[in-house]
Chains A and B, each alone.
Chain A
Amino acid sequence: MLQQASLSSRLWSLGVWVVMGLFVVNLLALIAAVVTSSFATRWLGTWLPAGWTLDWYGSAWREFQLADVLTVTFEIVALVVVLSGLIGVPAAYAMARRDFPGKRLVMLLFLLPLLVPPITYGIPLATVLYRAGLAGSMSGVVLANLAPTTPFVILVMIPYIEQIDPRIEAAARVFGANTPRLFAHVLLPLLLPGVLAALLLVLVRTLAMFELTFLTDGPTSQTLVVALYYAVFAAGVRAVQSIDAMAVIYMATSMVWLLIALRFVNPTQIVGRARREPGR
């Protein structure tokens, strides 16, 4: 019925696809430009570089001390993932299973850090962390990153837990399982796919989280994306290709995790956080 095509609706449909196609082509070309440049010996005023080389990866690795940066990045990301899982999943369970006074207010508390952009609350948060002597170190960066990731885990997990039949838990109770056993033998296996998906998304988001890390890090707690920012900011100090090589390393690290995450979740879930906002 929707296919009854007059000329005008065909033209309209064509126009929409052209706009979409242009966007995707430009996006891919933008990524391809970075990758091409990172392999280029010399690339000035031509369509393609004069020659190809792998040397920039070695020099980027040394110049930007990427071994250290990557170690720090993965330590921070791992801590954020584990902590937001440990704090977020039980909270999501409580929110999904119980109705208590003030639940809407608690829900609002979980929603706000996702709706307010990081740079807005990052500055007061960084101020507090500096006063507490935590900023400038890894613990400060981890704490700052927990502010958006914990609510994210909670909001992703609530619908997941809600769709698990509570009678399964009731049956386990009837057969005499205590809380730890209920958790280990019934809930954990049921929740594991959802938890994995939520934590993978946290991982991808933390790798890309620039603002909060930028505002709270110190020389020994810089993540890859912040190091990339400083490199681009001080452009001219290093060769462009070297910075591009670093960008490719950054892309590769987050893309691997993104591809793994996309096996478990729908792409719209990455932005779909607003679907559970209050008052709907």
Chain B
Amino acid sequence: MTDALPRPSVRTRLAGRGVDSVTLLALPAVILLFALFIYPFGYGLWLSFTPKDGGALANYAKFFSDPFLYDTLAKTFWLAAPVTVLNVVVAIPTALRVRLARRSRLLTTILVLPITLGTVLVAEGLLTYLGPQGWLNRVLITLGLISHPLRLLHNYWGVFLSLFITGFPFAFLLTLSYVSGVDPALENAAATLGAGPRRRFWAILLPLLLPGLAITLCLSFVQAFSVFPSAVLLGAPAGPTRVISIAAYQAAFEDYDYSMASAIAIIMGVAQLAVVALILAGRGLLYRGPAGGGKG
């Protein structure tokens, strides 16, 4: 009984670090996501460097030398960036106002509709609603705002509006969840000290909300950048709204060139990542701390 304590078993030592049978419950999910997410990305990356013909970089060289392909990048940016900014800029004041309203649940429920119904249905509905004989044009003509129906389908604006209809509720609900995280006591304190509504917004609310808004901006942009069904159904998929996802889809399922399709998908991912990294780098400069009132 005087020997040194026996060396703990591997199992005990692992358990000490937090790895035991309960931890292993996460294993199936980890394996699944490796197989369905990490591996395809790695495989796609490898595939993009093994083109049908030419050297390792042939796909990328082809993408950046063919205007039919590299223009899609600019077109997608030109569509996604304005819509994202509009979504977030409209979402801030509306979320701040709705937070004070009592019956906001009905409103949030209505706004969840376009998100849950999806882009295909919104595109289908807009085809009827925005048409030259649709209700929108009829109302505008009856009100005397326009004399001829606006052309809103099969061009840039159709896609823009569909991105607004699905993207704004998303940005709004996300902003609302950040806004409700700010302690109203902080704003009340500022009001007690004589700050008007404008000053309270610029000096108190906005600095506290900016980190959350940066995340909202990132997610909204990434969503808008990957627009696909509405660009085909509402836009001009051969012309002004030939976005990058259309190019990737055509490479894969019309030309059966999976190597080129993977290269375009990687370029799309890198473009999204670059914008997200840029926004997050800006976010790193911001105040990040408690958004609740302290006692001190």
Residues on A facing B (Cβ under 8 Å): 1-2, 4, 9, 12-13, 16-17, 19-20, 23-24, 26-31, 33-34, 37, 44-45, 47, 87-88, 90-91, 93-95, 97-101, 103, 106, 109-110, 112-113, 115-121, 123-128, 130, 143-144, 146-147, 150-151, 154, 179, 204-205, 208-211, 214-215, 225, 228-229, 232-233, 235, 240, 243-244, 247, 250-251, 254-255, 258, 262, 266-268, 270-272, 274-275, 277, 280
Contact = CB atoms under 8 A, between A and B. Distances in A.
Given A116-B269, A123-B248, A123-B265, A1 B43 contact: no
Interface string B36-51: 1111110110010000
B36 A146 contact: yes
B133 A33 contact: no
Given A208-B118, A210-B120, A243-B124, A23 B168 contact: yes
Interface of B: 17-30, 32-34, 36-41, 43-44, 47, 90, 93-94, 97-98, 100, 105, 107-129, 133-136, 138, 165, 168-170, 173-174, 176-177, 184, 187-188, 191-192, 197, 211, 215-216, 219, 222-223, 225-226, 228-229, 232-233, 245, 248-249, 252-253, 258, 261-262, 264-265, 268-269, 272, 288
29 contacts: A2-B184, A2-B191, A4-B191, A16-B94, A20-B98, A27-B114, A29-B129, A29-B136, A31-B125, A33-B129, A91-B28, A95-B26, A98-B20, A115-B219, A118-B226, A120-B272, A125-B40, A127-B43, A208-B121, A210-B120, A225-B120, A229-B233, A232-B124, A240-B128, A250-B121, A258-B113, A267-B173, A270-B173, A275-B177
Most chain A CB within 10 A, of B98, B112, B120, is at: B120
- Top-3 shortest CB links A-B: A124-B44, A117-B226, A91-B29
Given A87-B28, A124-B40, A232-B124, A109 B22 contact: no
A109 B18 contact: no
Given A110-B33, A128-B40, A210-B228, 7 more contacts: A2-B187, A4-B191, A98-B19, A121-B269, A229-B120, A243-B124, A280-B288
B124 A26 contact: no
Contacts of B19: 98, 100-101
Given A9-B197, A94-B24, A258-B116, A229 B229 contact: yes
A267 B111 contact: yes
A254 B117 contact: yes
A146 B248 CA distance: 22
